[in-house]
Amino acid sequence: MPSGIILPYYFLFLRDEAGLDARQISYLTGISGLTIILFQQFWGYMGDVVVPKKYLIVFNSLVSSFCFFLISRQHSFWIIAVLAFAQQAASTPLQQLFHGYLFMHEGSERHFGRLRAWGSLGFIAANTGIAFVADRITGGKLGFIFPFFVIVTMSFCLLFLPMPDRRTEHAVRPTFLQVQGFFLGRPQVALFLAVVFFYQAAHGLSYTFQSFLMREMGADMRVVSLSYSLAAFLELPVFFALNRLIGRWGETRLILFAAFVQALRWLLIWGAATPGQIIAISALHCITFGLFYAAAVSYMNRQAGVALKASAQAIFALVYFGFAAVVGNVAGGQVTSGGVLADAMTWFVTQVLHMPDRGGLRNLYIFCSALALISAGLCMLLIKREGRDCRQEQRSHIRRPKASGIRSNLSLLFFNGR
């Protein structure tokens, strides 16, 4: 539900009421990526090794809501940026801590899709409710979303605290660097993270700026909300069918399909002429976000043993919400009108692609479509590598190669019970 409060209304508030422009907003959206780069691995390690995940989730939720509330009273870009940094430092690890909390319970992977579907329903309820209040009661003013966010967060904490927590005791506490090396030392994980980087660099800012494009077309808040709520609603069948889809096709093939669909989605947005067309195109969000995200979380969960669920998701988030968000938001902001890459992008669209120049905001979607195709190409390499590794394992009749030194000890610890 908190995501349904923030997206897209927080960004519309920054533009329409705080007076920030598109480039400043792109920098603020990039702050979340910066905080993930700086702190995400720390939070994952803390939740897996030091502090129970449940208490971290409650603490970070309360700090995040307090900082978010303070933003509502500011109009200075730099003050908002400082508060946004503090808010994002607390809020960005929450999703991965939730995943780690869930996956620590035996057999919980089977329920991930269903739980994520309920999250989408919460997004829809918050998104449509805020649109109704903004259009019918507050005259388009969005300042009420900030106290509402605090109320929702405090209610969640009161409900979540009584829930049981489960921790895995480590015979030998691994160091922070040992945990990171356990994941990043495997080539297939590194290639997967490259796929994630280009995919999310294409998806993040383009999805956020969709609301700006609709407002320029004359859409009111309810119409803008409809595009985001429809996207969340259509995620539901994907999440409910997640186990069957992964069992039939595997995570990497689902990710490849999502990358091609994302490239098509942004091309269609580039050519859209009315808000209604954008709403129809938003139906693809169930694939470009829902299917991709669920498959990627499942893939990364398979790379973790019983003891490092939060760390696995933290590394995924480091790339997905971190490096990709920073690079994608900054580069995307410079592609739009007034950015240093705007003229170069216009030349690429008109001279290389021989397509009409429809303005900097539209050209952003051509840029993002190209990034999605790069992600698809890398995913094909990952699928090829997985197939080669599988054939080699079958020929050698070895289930897992024997490691040595630190890696051997970590494997015994982390894969015990798989």
Measured CA to CA, the distance from residue 61 to residue 339 in angstroms comes to 35
**Whole-angstrom distance, CA of residue 336 vs CA of residue 248:** 40
DSSP state of 237: H
| C-alpha to C-alpha distance for 289 and 203, rounded to whole angstroms | 8
Domain 2-163+176-394+401-414 has CATH 3.40.50.880: no
Q: How far apart are CA 34 and CA 325, in angstroms?
A: 8
Along the 418 residues of the chain, how does pLDDT read in single tens digits? Answer: 567 778 778 888 998 899 888 778 878 877 877 888 888 778 878 877 778 888 889 999 999 999 999 999 888 999 999 999 999 999 878 877 887 787 776 666 677 777 777 887 888 888 888 888 988 899 889 999 999 999 999 999 999 988 877 665 555 666 777 777 777 778 888 999 999 999 999 887 777 778 888 888 888 878 888 887 787 788 888 888 888 898 899 999 999 999 999 999 999 999 898 988 988 998 898 999 989 998 998 898 887 766 677 778 888 888 888 788 778 877 877 887 677 788 888 888 888 888 888 877 888 889 899 999 999 999 999 999 888 877 777 676 555 554 444 444 444 444 443 3
Within 8 A by CB and 6+ apart from 277, the residues are: 268
CA distances from 378 to 116, 204, 253 (A): 27, 19, 12
Report domain extents, the chain.
2-163+176-394+401-414
Token code pair at residue 280: 């129809």
Rounded Cα–Cα distance for residues 136 and 130 (Å)? 10
Query: At CA 183, angle to CA 90 and CA 111, rounded to 5?
Result: 65
pTM: 0.70
Q: What is the pLDDT of residue 408?
A: 45
CB-CB contact of 213 with 273 (8 Å): no
Six-digit token pair at 2?
């908190």
Q: How many CA atoms lie within 13 A of 263 on its CB side?
A: 14
- According to the model, what pLDDT value does residue 308 have? 73
Task: Please give the pLDDT value at position 194.
Answer: 95
